[in-house]
Structures are given as structure tokens and as C-alpha cells.
Amino acid sequence: MRKSPGLWYLEQYMRAIDVIVKKRDRNELTREEIEFFIQGYAKGEIPDYQAAAFAMAVLLNGMNPRETTDLTLAMADSGEVLDLTGVVPVAVDKHSTGGVGDKTTLVIGPLVSACGLPFGKMSGRGLGFSGGTLDKMESIPGYRCNLTTEEFLSQLKEIGIVLTGQSADLAPADGKLYALRDVTGTVQSIALIASSVMSKKIAAGAQAILLDVKVGLGAFMQNLEDARTLAGLMVEIGKLAGRRTIALLSDMNQPLGYAVGNALELKEAIETLNGGGPPDFVEHCLVIAGHLLVLGGVAPDENSGRALAAAAREDGRGKEKFRQLVQAQDGDVSYVDEPEKLPTAKLNETVKAAQAGFIQIVNARTIGETVVSLGGGRAKKDDEIDYGVGILVHRKVGERVEAGDAVFTIYGNSKVKLKAAHSRCLSALKVSSSPVEPLPLFYGIIR
């Protein structure tokens, strides 16, 4: 770990409570104070309860861009920072700020890798109502999400794709704080989201980073202004760290695709790599993949990049790359070839439209929270995940429905939870008698 001048003094005389109180009272923290707190937490010298208090103070009172950048670098420097320049010519990474039905990494990673651009990603587990990429991949028996740094580098060099959890050696302070935020009501902080995302990206060594910043009912940023602020902050951090970084602002008012829930989303991702999949999800993945191929120097522009990614999907190279990924990380590839083997809940129930009209709202947040209540997410950081539960969303905003048409199918393993989920799904749905415009996929790009 690097130490700033003056950090030695703080280690001798500063206390964690002083940092917490200073931020509680809306004062600006120095770089040395931030480094002291983060390094102390990483080493176990500052306990979870003080880290939770610090996170809440940041949520309530915010951090300015300089504080957020210092927090990002302190978390990146709490462990090893990889240098991939000697491993692959260029490696790209993407990150979504969290959404409902967002299984894009499972498709985008294999597609860009199949186009010759190495894709090395350290993903997280579910946070709040948003699903986690690792939870989805662990629906496959045997799949390992705990690769060592050496395994990460070797696999990236050999097959050009890695999808694993955060190594204990990389940004360990963020790994601890990430899990804590999920169960302390501090997920939504712009400063904590930006520093968490970018500390992992900087530590993992990717030279080019794409940020998929969600906005809407099912996102942590529910309005466009906040989403732009977060995106701009992360792009600025990337720039300061010497990474080529862009951010896309994407809609999360309704779930992305049809499937919400770990195994259901994995099945949908495999279906998409096989040439099928929901139209909105397919287009989202191809657009993001196109931008990544430009960032990585494989394509001259986004349209050319999208075409390359579409070709890799259509000719099966993306699916084969996904199989290579699963096999390399000890997963049972028969579950990729036969996705019907993936976990499925014992019970299911259909939710029907009560009236004819046009879908006006499919509240993504309510759907995400309902999947968590079925067992598909965590209320406490050590909760077990039920991989087979979830919800299929059959209708999108703007579509016409008749009374009695199926709008949702709920999958659960408890009759009591299934009944409650039925009521919550009904509350997530609003039907209008007048035509409704479909929602856009994207709202803009920040470069």
C-alpha cells in the first residue's frame, strides 16, 4: 500500500471516530484522513460498525469530486493493482451500476472476446434489489468465482475472457465495504458507487472501461440528473487514472429483457447467445459491445463494432466463447448446452391483466424487490440464494394487452411467498386506456 506524506502521523494520532464525526458534520476530508480510514478498515483495525457509520455519513452528506477520487485510489491501493500490459495488448471491462434483469455481461463479454478483444472482469453479487452477475453464474454447478490473481492473468492470456469475483488481493477495502453497503442502507450514495466501481476497475488493470449507468425506477439513480452526475464523476476518475473511459446512460424503468432471477436470467443470456432473446436485451448488448470494440481499437466506429458483435452472435462464436469461460472456471458446460437443467422453482403462478389497454408502467424496482422476497437476493450479507426463483415479464411498456392476458409468471418455492409476490406484481403494473410510447434504451453518452 502506498502511504501519502503525513499518513504516518495520522496512523499514530488519528482515530476512526474523528473521521466519521468530521464527515457527519459535513466537513471535507483530507486525502490522508481517507487513506487512514480505508487502509485501517482493509487491515481489520477499523471494525464493520465504524465502516457502516462512515458509509452512512457519506450517503447523507456526500463527497466532492476530489474526496471521491481520493477514496477511489485509496481503495484501489489497499491491495494489488494489476498491470495487464504484459499479458494482453489491450483489455476492456464494463460495469453496470445495477439494475433489474441486467444480465448483459453474460452476453457482451463473450461477444467482444470472440471478436478478438480480451475481456477481463471482476463482478459482484446482488446489491439490494439489483441482481448480481456472480449469483447468476453460480447457478451453474462447479463454476468458480474465486480465481486467484495468477489464475485471472493466465486465463485472460489463454482464452481472452475472465468473469470472476473480486480477488482478495485487489481492492480488499472495497470488497469489505461493498458487502457492508448492501445490508446497511448505503447502496445509493453516488460517491460510494463511483469509488467502488472505479477502484475495482483500476485495480483490475483494464486499459479501457465502459460504464453502463442505469437510470429510472429500477436503478439506484432514479433521475437523469443524478445519473449524469454519477457517470461524469466516474469518467473523470477514469481519466485521472489514465484509463480510456466512456459512460452510457441506459433506461431501467422496466426490467431489461424478460427474465428476472438468477437461473432465469442465465437461461435468457444463453438463449441470446444462441441467436434468440428479447429484442430490447439483444439491442442493448450489441450497442454496448460495439462501443467496447471501438474502445479496444478493434472497430473504427460504433456501427462497425455493433456489426462485428452481431456476426459473432449469429455464427455461434459468442456461444462457444461462453462455453470456454464456463469450462475454464470449472463449471459444468452441460448446463450451457442444456439450459433446461438449470435450477427451476417447484411452483409457478401467472399474473394476468385485469383490463385491456396499453402497458404504461412495469415498475422495475418492485419486480426486483419481489424477486428478493422470493429468495433470489439477500436481506443479510450471508443469506443463501435460491437460484431457481424469479419472474418472467411478458409485456413491455407501450404494448397492447387484453383483459386476462398473461403479464408475469412468478416462480417460487413457497406458497406463502408466491401469494405475496402475486400482489406485489399487480402493484408494479399500470395499464392505460390511451396508447403509450415505448421506453428508450439509452439516454446519452458521456465521453
Q: Are 436 and 359 in contact (CB under 8 A)?
A: yes
pLDDT at 2 (0 to 100): 53
Whether residue 206 is predicted with pLDDT greater than 70 in this model: the reply is yes
pLDDT at 13 (0 to 100): 62
| Domains in the chain: boundaries | 7-62, 92-339, 344-432
> How would residue 240 be classed by pLDDT, with cut points 50, 70 and 90?
confident
Q: Which residue has the higher pLDDT, 343 or 124?
A: 343
Query: Average pLDDT of 399-418?
Result: 98
Q: Which residue has the higher pLDDT, 11 or 246?
A: 246
The percentage of residues in the chain with a pLDDT greater than 70, rounded to a whole number, is: 96
* SS3 labels along the chain: CCCCCCHHHHHHHCCHHHHHHHHHCCCCCCHHHHHHHHHHHHCCCCCHHHHHHHHHHHHHHCCCHHHHHHHHHHHHCCCCCCCCCCCCCCCEEEEECCCCCCCCHHHHHHHHHHCCCCEEEEECCCECCECCHHHHHCCCCCCCCCCCHHHHHHHHHHHCEEEEECCCCCCHHHHHHHHHHHCCCCCCCHHHHHHHHHHHHHHHCCCEEEEEEEECCCCCCCCHHHHHHHHHHHHHHHHHCCCEEEEEEEECCCCCCCEECHHHHHHHHHHHHCCCCCHHHHHHHHHHHHHHHHHCCCCCCHHHHHHHHHHHHHCCHHHHHHHHHHHHCCCCCHHHHCHHHCCCCCEEEEEECCCCEEEEEECHHHHHHHHHHHHHCCCCCCCCCCCCCEEEECCCCCCEECCCCEEEEEEECCHHHHHHHHHHHHHHEEEECCCCCCCCCEEEEEC
Whether residue 248 is predicted with pLDDT greater than 70 in this model: the reply is yes
pLDDT at 362 (0 to 100): 98
> How would residue 376 be classed by pLDDT, with cut points 50, 70 and 90?
very high
One-letter amino acid of 196: S
Place of cell 383490463: 355
- Which residues pair with residue 165 across a beta bridge? 123
pLDDT at 271 (0 to 100): 98
Give yes or no: 157 in active site. no
- Mean pLDDT for the chain overall: 93
Q: What is the largest CA-CA distance in the chain?
A: 70
* Distances 257 to 83, 104, 272, 348, 441 between C-alpha atoms, Å: 35, 10, 10, 19, 11
Q: Which residue has the higher pLDDT, 269 or 91?
A: 269
Give yes or no: 95 in active site. yes
Whether residue 259 is predicted with pLDDT greater than 80 in this model: the reply is yes
Closest CA to 443 of 157, 208, 223, 127: 223
Whether residue 81 is predicted with pLDDT greater than 80 in this model: the reply is yes
Is the C-alpha dihedral spanning 49, 55, 57, 63 positive or negative? positive
Q: Are 24 and 59 in contact (CB under 8 A)?
A: no
Instruction: Please state the φ and ψ torsions of residue 359, each to the nearest 5 degrees.
Output: -65, 120
Closest CA to 194 of 39, 64, 380: 64
Burial class (CB in 10 A: 0-12, 13-18, 19+), 384: exposed
Whether residue 15 is predicted with pLDDT greater than 90 in this model: the reply is yes
| Active-site pick, 196, 199, 250, 373 | 196
Q: Are 71 and 39 in contact (CB under 8 A)?
A: no
Highest mean pLDDT among 114-128, 210-224, 431-445: 431-445
Q: Which three cell numbers stand for residue 280?
A: 430490447
| Active-site pick, 23, 95, 125, 313 | 95
For the stretch 148-189, pLDDT in tens is 889 999 999 999 999 998 777 788 899 899 889 878 999 889
Superfamily of domain 7-62: Transferase, Pyrimidine Nucleoside Phosphorylase; Chain C (1.20.970.10)
Closest CA to 441 of 222, 247, 250: 250
CA dist., res. 110 & res. 310, Å (int): 12
Whether residue 4 is predicted with pLDDT greater than 90 in this model: the reply is no
pLDDT at 8 (0 to 100): 53
Whether residue 11 is predicted with pLDDT greater than 80 in this model: the reply is no
Domain 92-339 has CATH 3.40.640.10: no
Q: Pairing state of beta strands 119-123 and 161-165?
A: parallel
| Active-site pick, 121, 125, 181, 395 | 181
Question: Angle 24-27-30 (CA atoms, 0-180°, nearest 5)?
Answer: 110
N- to C-terminal Cα separation, the chain: 31
| Active-site pick, 23, 121, 200, 201 | 200
Closest CA to 199 of 10, 38, 19: 38
> How would residue 404 be classed by pLDDT, with cut points 50, 70 and 90?
very high
Whether residue 331 is predicted with pLDDT greater than 70 in this model: the reply is yes
Is the C-alpha dihedral spanning 6, 11, 13, 16 positive or negative? positive
For the stretch 104-143, pLDDT in tens is 999 999 999 999 999 999 887 776 677 789 999 999 999 9
**Rg for the chain (alpha carbons), in Å?**
21
CATH topology of domain 344-432: Aldehyde Oxidoreductase; domain 3 (3.90.1170)
Give the count of beta carbons closer than 10 Å to the beta carbon of residue 354: 13
Give yes or no: 196 in active site. yes
CA dist., res. 124 & res. 181, Å (int): 12
Whether residue 1 is predicted with pLDDT greater than 60 in this model: the reply is no
Query: Average pLDDT of 240-257?
Result: 94
CA dist., res. 404 & res. 401, Å (int): 8
Burial class (CB in 10 A: 0-12, 13-18, 19+), 159: middle
Q: Which residue has the higher pLDDT, 283 or 178?
A: 283
406: left (phi over 0), alpha (psi -120 to 50) or beta: beta
Whole-prediction pTM value? 0.88
